[in-house]
Structure 1
C-alpha cells in the first residue's frame, strides 16, 4: 500500500490507500467536530472564521484559528521532511508519520473528555487533529504521486467534475486511464462520507473512545504490506517432500 513509489506504484495501490485513509479522514472530521466543535481535516472553513474574527476584532480567537491553520501546514511540512530525509524510496519511510497519528488518536481517546473542563484542552486537541491530518494529506500525496488526497473533498469534487465532463465528451467508457481516475475520485468521496457517517454514529455511542477506530485503521495500514508479504511467501514457498 505504501511501499511502492513512483513507477513501481500501480492503480491498485492507489485504490487501497484511498479507501483506507479517506475512511480515516472522514471519521476524524465527523468525530472531531462532534468532540471539539472544530473541523479538523482541512483549513478552508477556518480561513473564513479567521477573517470574520479579525473583522470583529476578536484577537484571541483569531490567534487560535491562525494557529490551527499553521498546525495543518506544520503537519504537512513535518511529514514531507520525514519522508524526504529518510528517502521516499526507502522501505517503511511512512512509518513515523503514521505512528505519530496513532499516538495522537490514543491520547485523545484517553484524555479527550477533559475538553468539557477546559477551553485550552479543546484548542490543543483540535490543533493536534489538524496537525496529523496535515501529515496524512502530505504523506498520501507524496506516496501516490499527487493522485490521491484524502483529508478534504473540495479538490476531489472539482477533479471529478472535470473528468466526468471529459468522459461525457468522449462518450467512451473504454478510455481506461480516464475511467480509472473517475473511479478513484468516487472511491475517495464514498470512503470519506462513509467514514464521516461512522464517526458521527460511533461518537454518539462511544464518545471519545470512538477514536480507537482510526487507530485500528492506521494499524492495519501499517501492517498491511508486512502481512501481504508473509502471505505471498507462504503460498509461494517451495514444497519440500520427504524422502
Structure 2
C-alpha cells in the first residue's frame, strides 16, 4: 500500500489507500465534531468562519480559527517536508508521519475523558486533530501522486461531476481510465461517509475510546505490505513442500 510509488503504483494500490484512509478521515471528522463541535478536516469551512469572525469583530474566536488553519497547514508541511527529505520513493518515509498521527490520536483518546469544554481545551484537542489530518492529507497526496485526497470531498464531488458528464456525453469517453477514475472517486466519497457514520456511532457509544479505532486503522496501513508479503511467502513455501 505504501511501498509502491511513482510508476510502480497501480490503481489497486490507490484504491486500497483511499478506502482505509478515507474511512479514517471520515471517522475522525465525525467523532471530532461531536466531541469538540469542530470539523477537523474542513479547512474551507474554517476559512469562511475566520472571515465571519473578523467582520463581526470576534477577535478571540478569529484567533482560534486562524490557529486551526495554521495547524492544518503545519501538519501538511511537516509531513511533506519529512517525506521529501527522506525521499518520497522510500516506503519507510511514510511511516514516521503516520506514527506521529497515531500519537496525537492516542493523546486525544487518553486525555479526552477529562475534557471540560473550556476554550483552551477545545483549541488543543481540535488543533491536534487538524494537525494530524493535515499530515495525513499531505502524506496520501505524496504517496499516490496527488491522485487520492482523504480529508475533504469538495474537489471529489466536482471531479466526479465532470467525469460523469464526460461519460454521459459519449460512450467513447467511457474508457478504462475514466472507469477507474470514477470508481476511485466514488470509493473516496463512500468510505469517507461510512467513516463518518461509524465515528458518530462510536463516539456516542464509547466516547473518547472511539479514537482507538483510527489508531488501529493506521497500524493496518503501516503493516499491510509486510503481512501481505509475509503471507505470500508462507503460501509459496507450503506449495513447494
- TM-score, length basis structure 1: 0.96
Measure the CA separation in 2 of the matches of 1:160 and 1:221.
26
Task: Give 1:83-162 correspondences, 5 Å limit.
Answer: 83-116=83-116, 118-162=118-162
Shift of the alpha carbon at 1:134? 0.5
TM-score by length of 2: 0.96
Name the SS of the counterpart of 1:236 in structure 2: helix
Q: What is the number of equivalent residue pairs in this alignment?
A: 241
- Residue 39 of structure 2 is matched in structure 1 by 39
**Which structure shows the higher helix fraction?**
2
Instruction: In structure 1, list runs of 5 or more residues that go unmatched.
Output: none
Is contact 1:42–1:72 with CA below 8 Å preserved after alignment?
no
Distance 1:64 1:183, change over 3 A: same
User: Structure 1 residue 29: deviation in Å?
Assistant: 0.5
2: CA distance, partners of 1:98 / 1:90: 14
Would you say the 8 A contact 2:166–2:173 is kept in 1?
no
Structure 2: gaps spanning 5 or more residues: none
| C-alpha separation in 2, matches of 1:110 and 1:2 | 28
**Structure 1 match to 2:211:** 211
What's the C-alpha RMSD, in Å, of the aligned pairs? 1.4
User: Cα distance 1:50–1:228, how it changes in 2: closer, same or farther (>3 A)?
Assistant: same
Q: CA deviation at 1:118?
A: 3.0
